[in-house]
Structure 1
Amino acid sequence: MRTASISDGDLTARARIIAAALDRFAERGYDAASLRDIAAHAGVSTALVTHHFGTKQALREECDARVARFIAEKQDAAAASDVLGEVLGTFGPYLARMLADGGAASDALFTRLRQVARASIDDGSASGWLRSSRDPDAQAVVLVLLGVAPLLLLDRLAAWAGDARAALARLAVPLAELYTDGLMTDGRLLAATGLIPVDPITQESR
Protein backbone atom coordinates (compact mmCIF):
# COMPACT_ATOMS: atom_id res chain seq x y z
CA MET A 1 0.00 0.00 0.00
CA ARG A 2 1.33 3.38 -1.01
CA THR A 3 1.59 6.28 1.41
CA ALA A 4 2.35 8.95 -1.17
CA SER A 5 1.16 10.00 -4.59
CA ILE A 6 3.99 11.08 -6.87
CA SER A 7 4.18 10.53 -10.60
CA ASP A 8 7.33 9.20 -12.23
CA GLY A 9 8.20 12.68 -13.47
CA ASP A 10 7.53 14.40 -10.17
CA LEU A 11 10.89 13.72 -8.55
CA THR A 12 11.88 17.22 -7.51
CA ALA A 13 13.29 17.79 -4.05
CA ARG A 14 9.99 19.35 -2.97
CA ALA A 15 8.05 16.32 -4.19
CA ARG A 16 10.44 13.92 -2.45
CA ILE A 17 10.05 15.88 0.80
CA ILE A 18 6.25 15.66 0.60
CA ALA A 19 6.43 11.92 -0.11
CA ALA A 20 8.81 11.43 2.82
CA ALA A 21 6.56 13.47 5.11
CA LEU A 22 3.51 11.42 4.13
CA ASP A 23 5.46 8.27 4.92
CA ARG A 24 7.00 9.46 8.22
CA PHE A 25 3.76 11.01 9.48
CA ALA A 26 1.96 7.76 8.62
CA GLU A 27 4.51 5.60 10.42
CA ARG A 28 5.28 7.73 13.47
CA GLY A 29 2.51 10.30 13.79
CA TYR A 30 2.83 14.05 13.50
CA ASP A 31 4.40 14.69 16.90
CA ALA A 32 7.04 11.97 16.68
CA ALA A 33 8.15 12.63 13.11
CA SER A 34 10.88 15.30 13.03
CA LEU A 35 11.98 17.49 10.16
CA ARG A 36 15.41 15.87 10.44
CA ASP A 37 13.90 12.42 10.03
CA ILE A 38 11.77 13.56 7.08
CA ALA A 39 14.79 15.16 5.43
CA ALA A 40 16.86 11.99 5.82
CA HIS A 41 14.04 9.90 4.37
CA ALA A 42 13.82 12.28 1.39
CA GLY A 43 17.60 12.32 0.89
CA VAL A 44 17.90 16.07 1.42
CA SER A 45 19.15 18.37 4.15
CA THR A 46 16.97 19.65 6.97
CA ALA A 47 17.79 23.15 5.78
CA LEU A 48 16.24 22.39 2.39
CA VAL A 49 13.05 21.17 4.06
CA THR A 50 12.90 24.39 6.04
CA HIS A 51 13.62 26.40 2.89
CA HIS A 52 10.65 24.85 1.06
CA PHE A 53 8.12 24.64 3.89
CA GLY A 54 9.35 26.65 6.86
CA THR A 55 7.79 24.56 9.64
CA LYS A 56 6.58 21.02 10.24
CA GLN A 57 3.03 22.34 10.53
CA ALA A 58 3.28 23.92 7.09
CA LEU A 59 4.57 20.61 5.73
CA ARG A 60 1.61 18.81 7.30
CA GLU A 61 -0.71 21.32 5.66
CA GLU A 62 0.91 20.63 2.29
CA CYS A 63 0.43 16.89 2.81
CA ASP A 64 -3.26 17.45 3.55
CA ALA A 65 -3.51 19.69 0.48
CA ARG A 66 -1.98 16.88 -1.60
CA VAL A 67 -4.73 14.55 -0.36
CA ALA A 68 -7.40 17.16 -1.13
CA ARG A 69 -6.09 17.67 -4.67
CA PHE A 70 -6.00 13.92 -5.23
CA ILE A 71 -9.63 13.63 -4.13
CA ALA A 72 -10.68 16.50 -6.40
CA GLU A 73 -8.87 14.96 -9.38
CA LYS A 74 -10.46 11.56 -8.79
CA GLN A 75 -13.90 13.09 -8.39
CA ASP A 76 -13.47 14.74 -11.79
CA ALA A 77 -12.19 11.59 -13.48
CA ALA A 78 -13.81 8.60 -11.79
CA ALA A 79 -17.21 7.39 -10.68
CA ALA A 80 -18.12 8.60 -7.20
CA SER A 81 -18.31 5.00 -5.99
CA ASP A 82 -14.62 4.46 -6.80
CA VAL A 83 -13.16 7.54 -5.12
CA LEU A 84 -13.06 6.41 -1.48
CA GLY A 85 -11.22 3.21 -2.39
CA GLU A 86 -8.73 5.18 -4.50
CA VAL A 87 -8.05 7.63 -1.68
CA LEU A 88 -7.61 4.96 0.98
CA GLY A 89 -5.52 2.83 -1.37
CA THR A 90 -3.12 5.71 -1.98
CA PHE A 91 -3.06 7.62 1.31
CA GLY A 92 -4.59 5.12 3.72
CA PRO A 93 -1.78 4.83 6.33
CA TYR A 94 -1.32 8.61 6.40
CA LEU A 95 -5.05 9.24 6.78
CA ALA A 96 -5.39 6.62 9.50
CA ARG A 97 -2.60 8.13 11.58
CA MET A 98 -3.70 11.74 11.06
CA LEU A 99 -7.32 10.95 11.93
CA ALA A 100 -6.15 9.26 15.12
CA ASP A 101 -3.98 12.23 16.07
CA GLY A 102 -6.99 14.54 16.28
CA GLY A 103 -7.15 18.32 15.95
CA ALA A 104 -8.69 20.73 13.46
CA ALA A 105 -6.73 19.35 10.49
CA SER A 106 -7.85 15.82 11.32
CA ASP A 107 -11.44 17.02 11.64
CA ALA A 108 -11.20 18.51 8.14
CA LEU A 109 -9.80 15.27 6.71
CA PHE A 110 -12.56 13.25 8.34
CA THR A 111 -15.23 15.60 6.96
CA ARG A 112 -13.80 15.28 3.47
CA LEU A 113 -13.66 11.48 3.64
CA ARG A 114 -17.21 11.37 4.98
CA GLN A 115 -18.36 13.51 2.04
CA VAL A 116 -16.57 11.21 -0.40
CA ALA A 117 -18.21 8.17 1.18
CA ARG A 118 -21.66 9.79 1.07
CA ALA A 119 -21.20 10.60 -2.62
CA SER A 120 -20.28 6.95 -3.17
CA ILE A 121 -23.45 5.83 -1.40
CA ASP A 122 -25.63 8.21 -3.39
CA ASP A 123 -24.04 7.05 -6.64
CA GLY A 124 -24.39 3.38 -5.76
CA SER A 125 -27.99 3.78 -4.64
CA ALA A 126 -28.93 5.68 -7.80
CA SER A 127 -27.24 3.01 -9.93
CA GLY A 128 -29.08 0.23 -8.11
CA TRP A 129 -26.07 -1.81 -6.97
CA LEU A 130 -25.85 -0.50 -3.39
CA ARG A 131 -28.50 -0.82 -0.70
CA SER A 132 -28.90 2.52 1.04
CA SER A 133 -29.18 2.63 4.82
CA ARG A 134 -32.01 4.07 6.86
CA ASP A 135 -29.35 6.60 7.88
CA PRO A 136 -27.09 7.21 4.84
CA ASP A 137 -24.99 9.81 6.65
CA ALA A 138 -24.11 7.27 9.34
CA GLN A 139 -23.61 4.67 6.61
CA ALA A 140 -20.98 6.96 5.08
CA VAL A 141 -19.21 7.18 8.44
CA VAL A 142 -19.26 3.37 8.70
CA LEU A 143 -17.62 3.07 5.27
CA VAL A 144 -14.84 5.42 6.40
CA LEU A 145 -14.40 3.51 9.67
CA LEU A 146 -14.23 0.13 7.93
CA GLY A 147 -11.74 1.51 5.43
CA VAL A 148 -9.46 3.14 7.99
CA ALA A 149 -9.63 0.74 10.95
CA PRO A 150 -7.38 -2.01 9.52
CA LEU A 151 -4.70 0.59 8.80
CA LEU A 152 -4.65 1.63 12.45
CA LEU A 153 -3.83 -1.95 13.42
CA LEU A 154 -1.29 -2.84 10.74
CA ASP A 155 1.33 -3.94 13.27
CA ARG A 156 -1.09 -6.32 14.97
CA LEU A 157 -2.43 -7.55 11.64
CA ALA A 158 1.08 -8.13 10.31
CA ALA A 159 1.92 -10.22 13.38
CA TRP A 160 -1.26 -12.25 12.81
CA ALA A 161 -0.85 -12.89 9.08
CA GLY A 162 2.92 -12.73 8.61
CA ASP A 163 3.05 -9.28 7.00
CA ALA A 164 0.76 -6.32 6.44
CA ARG A 165 0.07 -7.03 2.76
CA ALA A 166 -0.96 -10.62 3.50
CA ALA A 167 -3.19 -9.42 6.34
CA LEU A 168 -5.05 -6.91 4.16
CA ALA A 169 -5.45 -9.53 1.44
CA ARG A 170 -7.03 -11.96 3.94
CA LEU A 171 -9.34 -9.28 5.30
CA ALA A 172 -10.54 -8.44 1.79
CA VAL A 173 -12.57 -11.67 1.56
CA PRO A 174 -14.64 -11.40 4.78
CA LEU A 175 -15.09 -7.67 4.20
CA ALA A 176 -16.40 -8.37 0.70
CA GLU A 177 -18.71 -11.02 2.16
CA LEU A 178 -19.90 -8.56 4.79
CA TYR A 179 -20.62 -5.88 2.19
CA THR A 180 -22.28 -8.29 -0.24
CA ASP A 181 -24.16 -10.81 1.88
CA GLY A 182 -24.37 -9.20 5.30
CA LEU A 183 -23.42 -10.96 8.52
CA MET A 184 -26.57 -12.00 10.37
CA THR A 185 -29.13 -14.49 9.08
CA ASP A 186 -32.04 -12.77 10.82
CA GLY A 187 -33.14 -9.33 11.99
CA ARG A 188 -32.24 -9.50 15.69
CA LEU A 189 -29.62 -6.73 15.49
CA LEU A 190 -32.03 -4.33 13.79
CA ALA A 191 -34.61 -5.23 16.41
CA ALA A 192 -32.11 -4.38 19.13
CA THR A 193 -31.79 -0.87 17.69
CA GLY A 194 -35.57 -0.47 17.87
CA LEU A 195 -35.75 0.34 14.17
CA ILE A 196 -37.87 -2.62 13.14
CA PRO A 197 -40.11 -5.13 14.97
CA VAL A 198 -38.96 -8.75 14.91
CA ASP A 199 -40.98 -11.86 15.72
CA PRO A 200 -39.63 -13.08 19.10
CA ILE A 201 -39.95 -16.73 18.05
CA THR A 202 -38.71 -16.80 14.46
CA GLN A 203 -36.41 -13.74 14.80
CA GLU A 204 -37.67 -12.65 11.37
CA SER A 205 -38.52 -9.04 10.57
CA ARG A 206 -42.25 -8.34 10.74
Structure 2
Amino acid sequence: MDRRLEDLTARARIRDAAVKLFGERGIEGASIRDIAAEAGVSSGLVRHHFGSKEALREACDAYARERMLEISAELASSDGVAALDPVTLHPRVFPLQLYLVRSMMDGSETATALFLGAVETIEEWSKGYGIDPQDRRAYAAALAAIKLSVFVFRDQISQALGEDMTSPSGYARIGQGMLDVFAIPIITQEQVDTLRKQEK
Protein backbone atom coordinates (compact mmCIF):
# COMPACT_ATOMS: atom_id res chain seq x y z
CA MET A 1 0.00 0.00 0.00
CA ASP A 2 1.19 3.52 -0.77
CA ARG A 3 2.56 5.10 2.45
CA ARG A 4 0.42 8.22 1.99
CA LEU A 5 -2.72 6.11 1.60
CA GLU A 6 -1.71 4.00 4.60
CA ASP A 7 -1.29 7.16 6.69
CA LEU A 8 -4.68 8.45 5.52
CA THR A 9 -6.34 5.14 6.42
CA ALA A 10 -4.70 5.14 9.85
CA ARG A 11 -5.77 8.73 10.45
CA ALA A 12 -9.39 7.85 9.62
CA ARG A 13 -9.26 4.78 11.91
CA ILE A 14 -7.91 6.90 14.74
CA ARG A 15 -10.60 9.54 14.21
CA ASP A 16 -13.38 6.94 14.11
CA ALA A 17 -12.02 5.26 17.26
CA ALA A 18 -11.90 8.64 19.01
CA VAL A 19 -15.47 9.47 17.97
CA LYS A 20 -16.60 6.14 19.43
CA LEU A 21 -14.70 6.37 22.71
CA PHE A 22 -15.24 10.09 23.28
CA GLY A 23 -18.96 9.49 22.71
CA GLU A 24 -19.08 6.60 25.15
CA ARG A 25 -16.75 7.92 27.87
CA GLY A 26 -16.39 11.65 27.37
CA ILE A 27 -13.21 13.52 26.53
CA GLU A 28 -11.61 12.99 29.92
CA GLY A 29 -12.57 9.33 30.07
CA ALA A 30 -10.81 8.25 26.88
CA SER A 31 -7.02 8.35 26.83
CA ILE A 32 -4.70 8.48 23.82
CA ARG A 33 -3.67 4.93 24.69
CA ASP A 34 -7.32 3.77 24.72
CA ILE A 35 -7.96 5.39 21.34
CA ALA A 36 -4.80 3.89 19.87
CA ALA A 37 -5.81 0.42 21.06
CA GLU A 38 -9.31 0.84 19.62
CA ALA A 39 -7.83 1.94 16.28
CA GLY A 40 -5.18 -0.79 16.29
CA VAL A 41 -2.26 1.63 16.12
CA SER A 42 0.44 2.91 18.46
CA SER A 43 0.00 5.92 20.74
CA GLY A 44 2.88 7.51 18.87
CA LEU A 45 0.98 7.31 15.59
CA VAL A 46 -2.01 9.06 17.18
CA ARG A 47 0.29 11.89 18.26
CA HIS A 48 1.97 11.89 14.84
CA HIS A 49 -1.36 12.51 13.09
CA PHE A 50 -3.08 14.78 15.62
CA GLY A 51 -0.44 16.09 18.03
CA SER A 52 -2.61 16.15 21.16
CA LYS A 53 -5.91 14.86 22.49
CA GLU A 54 -7.42 18.34 22.24
CA ALA A 55 -6.43 18.58 18.56
CA LEU A 56 -7.90 15.12 17.99
CA ARG A 57 -11.10 16.24 19.68
CA GLU A 58 -11.29 19.30 17.40
CA ALA A 59 -10.81 17.06 14.35
CA CYS A 60 -13.61 14.78 15.60
CA ASP A 61 -15.89 17.79 16.18
CA ALA A 62 -15.34 19.02 12.63
CA TYR A 63 -15.82 15.56 11.13
CA ALA A 64 -18.99 14.80 13.12
CA ARG A 65 -20.49 18.17 12.22
CA GLU A 66 -19.72 17.72 8.52
CA ARG A 67 -21.10 14.17 8.38
CA MET A 68 -24.30 15.07 10.26
CA LEU A 69 -24.93 17.99 7.91
CA GLU A 70 -24.42 15.65 4.92
CA ILE A 71 -26.77 13.04 6.36
CA SER A 72 -29.37 15.70 7.24
CA ALA A 73 -29.26 16.98 3.66
CA GLU A 74 -29.69 13.42 2.41
CA LEU A 75 -32.71 12.84 4.64
CA ALA A 76 -34.25 16.10 3.46
CA SER A 77 -33.99 15.03 -0.18
CA SER A 78 -36.87 13.52 -2.13
CA ASP A 79 -35.75 9.95 -1.42
CA GLY A 80 -34.88 10.70 2.21
CA VAL A 81 -37.75 8.60 3.60
CA ALA A 82 -36.03 5.42 2.40
CA ALA A 83 -32.89 6.48 4.28
CA LEU A 84 -34.83 6.55 7.56
CA ASP A 85 -34.68 2.74 7.83
CA PRO A 86 -33.20 2.25 11.33
CA VAL A 87 -31.21 -0.79 10.20
CA THR A 88 -29.19 1.27 7.73
CA LEU A 89 -29.39 4.61 9.55
CA HIS A 90 -28.23 3.42 12.98
CA PRO A 91 -24.58 2.56 12.22
CA ARG A 92 -24.11 5.81 10.28
CA VAL A 93 -25.86 8.23 12.61
CA PHE A 94 -25.88 6.90 16.17
CA PRO A 95 -22.11 7.17 16.91
CA LEU A 96 -22.11 10.74 15.58
CA GLN A 97 -25.20 11.74 17.56
CA LEU A 98 -23.77 10.23 20.73
CA TYR A 99 -20.42 11.91 20.15
CA LEU A 100 -21.91 15.35 19.49
CA VAL A 101 -24.13 15.23 22.56
CA ARG A 102 -21.21 14.16 24.78
CA SER A 103 -18.98 16.78 23.16
CA MET A 104 -21.63 19.43 23.76
CA MET A 105 -21.85 18.42 27.42
CA ASP A 106 -18.05 18.69 27.63
CA GLY A 107 -18.18 22.28 26.36
CA SER A 108 -17.42 21.96 22.65
CA GLU A 109 -18.12 25.19 20.76
CA THR A 110 -18.46 23.25 17.50
CA ALA A 111 -21.12 20.92 18.95
CA THR A 112 -22.95 23.85 20.52
CA ALA A 113 -22.90 25.67 17.18
CA LEU A 114 -24.42 22.58 15.56
CA PHE A 115 -27.20 22.57 18.17
CA LEU A 116 -27.93 26.25 17.50
CA GLY A 117 -27.97 25.49 13.78
CA ALA A 118 -30.51 22.72 14.45
CA VAL A 119 -32.67 25.21 16.36
CA GLU A 120 -32.62 27.58 13.38
CA THR A 121 -33.45 24.72 11.00
CA ILE A 122 -36.44 23.72 13.14
CA GLU A 123 -37.61 27.33 13.18
CA GLU A 124 -37.59 27.46 9.38
CA TRP A 125 -39.17 24.00 9.13
CA SER A 126 -42.01 25.02 11.46
CA LYS A 127 -42.75 28.05 9.29
CA GLY A 128 -42.85 25.92 6.15
CA TYR A 129 -45.30 23.49 7.73
CA GLY A 130 -47.58 26.22 9.02
CA ILE A 131 -46.79 25.47 12.67
CA ASP A 132 -47.48 28.61 14.68
CA PRO A 133 -46.18 28.29 18.26
CA GLN A 134 -46.50 31.13 20.73
CA ASP A 135 -42.71 31.49 20.89
CA ARG A 136 -41.11 29.95 17.78
CA ARG A 137 -37.55 30.16 19.09
CA ALA A 138 -38.46 28.48 22.38
CA TYR A 139 -40.43 25.82 20.46
CA ALA A 140 -37.43 25.07 18.23
CA ALA A 141 -35.00 24.98 21.18
CA ALA A 142 -37.30 22.65 23.16
CA LEU A 143 -37.75 20.30 20.20
CA ALA A 144 -34.02 20.14 19.50
CA ALA A 145 -33.30 19.45 23.19
CA ILE A 146 -35.96 16.73 23.39
CA LYS A 147 -34.47 14.93 20.40
CA LEU A 148 -30.99 15.04 21.95
CA SER A 149 -32.14 14.06 25.45
CA VAL A 150 -32.48 10.38 24.54
CA PHE A 151 -28.70 10.23 24.19
CA VAL A 152 -28.11 11.93 27.54
CA PHE A 153 -30.38 9.38 29.24
CA ARG A 154 -29.35 6.39 27.15
CA ASP A 155 -28.46 4.22 30.19
CA GLN A 156 -31.78 4.89 31.89
CA ILE A 157 -33.71 4.41 28.64
CA SER A 158 -31.93 1.11 28.06
CA GLN A 159 -33.05 -0.05 31.52
CA ALA A 160 -36.62 1.05 30.82
CA LEU A 161 -36.71 -0.78 27.47
CA GLY A 162 -35.00 -3.89 28.76
CA GLU A 163 -32.49 -3.71 25.93
CA ASP A 164 -29.52 -1.62 24.93
CA MET A 165 -30.69 1.62 23.32
CA THR A 166 -27.41 1.74 21.38
CA SER A 167 -28.28 -1.49 19.55
CA PRO A 168 -30.10 -1.24 16.19
CA SER A 169 -33.32 -2.69 17.66
CA GLY A 170 -33.20 -0.47 20.76
CA TYR A 171 -32.47 2.55 18.60
CA ALA A 172 -35.44 1.68 16.37
CA ARG A 173 -37.73 1.28 19.39
CA ILE A 174 -36.88 4.64 20.94
CA GLY A 175 -37.14 6.23 17.49
CA GLN A 176 -40.69 4.86 17.15
CA GLY A 177 -41.44 6.08 20.64
CA MET A 178 -40.29 9.57 19.71
CA LEU A 179 -42.49 9.49 16.60
CA ASP A 180 -45.48 8.58 18.77
CA VAL A 181 -44.65 11.39 21.20
CA PHE A 182 -44.74 13.90 18.34
CA ALA A 183 -47.75 12.35 16.61
CA ILE A 184 -50.13 11.71 19.52
CA PRO A 185 -51.51 14.82 21.29
CA ILE A 186 -51.56 14.53 25.06
CA ILE A 187 -53.59 17.66 25.81
CA THR A 188 -56.44 19.38 23.97
CA GLN A 189 -56.32 22.84 22.45
CA GLU A 190 -58.75 23.95 25.14
CA GLN A 191 -56.30 22.83 27.83
CA VAL A 192 -53.48 24.65 26.04
CA ASP A 193 -55.53 27.86 25.98
CA THR A 194 -56.33 27.51 29.69
CA LEU A 195 -52.67 26.98 30.60
CA ARG A 196 -51.62 29.99 28.55
CA LYS A 197 -54.17 32.17 30.31
CA GLN A 198 -52.82 31.02 33.68
CA GLU A 199 -49.26 31.95 32.65
CA LYS A 200 -50.26 35.55 31.86
> Quick check: TM above 0.5?
yes
1:116-160 CA-to-partner distances (Å, cap 9, x unmatched) read 24224413532x3x6242222222212221121111122222222
Q: 1:179 aligns with which of 176, 179, 182?
A: 182
* Counterpart in the other structure of 2:32: 35
Q: Percent identity?
A: 30
**TM-score (norm. length: structure 2):** 0.75
* Counterpart in the other structure of 1:24: 21
Return the alpha-carbon distance in structure 2 between the equivalents of residues 184 and 168 of structure 1.
27
Return the alpha-carbon distance in structure 1 between the equivalents of residues 177 and 190 of structure 2.
20
Q: 1:174 to 1:74 in 2, by over 3 A?
A: closer
The question of whether the paired residues in 1 share the 8 Å contact of 2:20 and 2:95 is answered with: no
RMSD of aligned C-alpha atoms? Answer: 3.2
The question of whether the paired residues in 2 share the 8 Å contact of 1:114 and 1:140 is answered with: no
Q: 1:146 to 1:63 in 2, by over 3 A?
A: same
What residue identity is the alignment partner of 1:22?
A: V
**TM-score (norm. length: structure 1):** 0.73
1:12 alignment partner, SS class = helix
Q: 2:43 aligns with which of 35, 43, 46?
A: 46
1:112 is aligned to 2:114: yes
Q: 1:187 to 1:44 in 2, by over 3 A?
A: farther
Deviation at 1:16, TM superposition (A): 0.3
* Counterpart in the other structure of 1:4: none
What residue identity is the alignment partner of 1:131?
A: I
What residue identity is the alignment partner of 1:97?
A: R
Q: 1:169 to 1:179 in 2, by over 3 A?
A: same
Deviation at 1:100, TM superposition (A): 1.9
**Structure 1: which 5+ residue stretches go unaligned?**
1-10, 198-206
**Structure 2: which 5+ residue stretches go unaligned?**
1-7
Q: 1:93 to 1:76 in 2, by over 3 A?
A: closer
The number of equivalent residue pairs is 181
Pairs within 5 Å for 1:9-158 = 12-74=9-71, 79=76, 89=94, 91-101=96-106, 103=107, 105=108, 107-126=109-128, 128=129, 131-158=131-158
Deviation at 1:111, TM superposition (A): 2.8
Q: 1:124 to 1:45 in 2, by over 3 A?
A: same
* Counterpart in the other structure of 1:159: 159
Q: 1:195 to 1:124 in 2, by over 3 A?
A: same
Larger proportion of helix? 2
The question of whether the paired residues in 2 share the 8 Å contact of 1:160 and 1:167 is answered with: no
Which of the pair has the greater relative contact order for Cα pairs under 8 Å at 6+ separation? Answer: 2
1:183 alignment partner, SS class = coil
